[in-house]
Amino acid sequence: MTDNTPNKNKVQEQALATLEDVKGITVTDQNTLDIAGNKLKIVKTTLKNVDSVYRPILDRMNAQKKATMEEMKTYTEPLQKAEKLIKGAIGSFAEAQERAAAAEQARKDKIARQEAEDQRLRDAQALQDAGHEEEAERALETPVVTAAVHVAPVAKAEGVSTRKKYSGKVVSLKALVVAIAKGEAPITLIKPDMTAINQLVRATKEATDISGIEVVTETVVAGRI
């Protein structure tokens, strides 16, 4: 069986030499245009030869990488699922602890406020009984101030920490765009979809008439071998 794969060293030398050969090339007339066209064919042919040399190597590497990744997934996926289950259980417990702590804090704060209010009423009543009507009125008008009441910290496991993670979800793109247009939100919250824009411009060409979009044209040269 004949091996038609180009010689690697020869292809490497030709690739480097080709660039040197075309440096400073200019096209000013039909003759130089023909020369440029022929050199473009050489470039395309050399590119094809480079691909034929290196593509099999890359294919073997990619096949080995794919096989290794698949083997690795056999062991990483169960571990990732286990991690997710453990973190889910810890997260649920932490949230329950936080809710319980918040409820206990609210209960103790309420008791402290009620005790402070009861004390204020007693103080005002004592002043009133002593004939100090103005002081009693001022006591009743003074806002109740309570000392901070702390609850026990939530339980934690050694080597494990929890934190609040915040993220946003766009529920109405139109409303977001309107907010940006009004200056209520920064424009950095959105970015143009260049794939969709380019598809639209390629379809409508010079007829594209959308505020904020400029049609850019360039001449593309294609060579055949």
pLDDT tens-place values along the chain, 225 residues long: 455 667 889 999 999 999 999 998 999 999 999 999 999 999 999 999 999 999 999 999 999 999 999 999 999 999 999 999 999 999 899 889 888 988 988 898 899 889 888 888 898 888 888 888 888 888 888 887 777 767 677 677 788 888 888 999 999 999 999 999 999 999 999 999 999 999 999 999 999 999 999 999 998 888 887
What single-letter amino acid sits at 24?
G
Residues near 200 by beta carbon (within 8 Å), at least 6 away in sequence: 208, 210
Residue of 166, 177, 222 whose CA lies nearest to 40: 222
Cα–Cα distances in angstroms (integers) from residue 143 to residues 105, 116, 146, in the given order: 21, 10, 10
pLDDT of residue 1: 42
pLDDT of residue 136: 83
Kindly state the DSSP code that residue 158 receives in the 8-state scheme: T
Residue 25 corresponds to which tokens in the numbers above? Answer: 């090339």
Residue 219 corresponds to which tokens in the numbers above? Answer: 């001449």
Contact 11, 49 (CB under 8 A): yes
- State the Cα–Cα distance between residues 160 and 22, nearest whole angstrom: 63
pLDDT of residue 51: 94
What single-letter amino acid sits at 225?
I
pLDDT of residue 81: 97
pLDDT of residue 4: 62
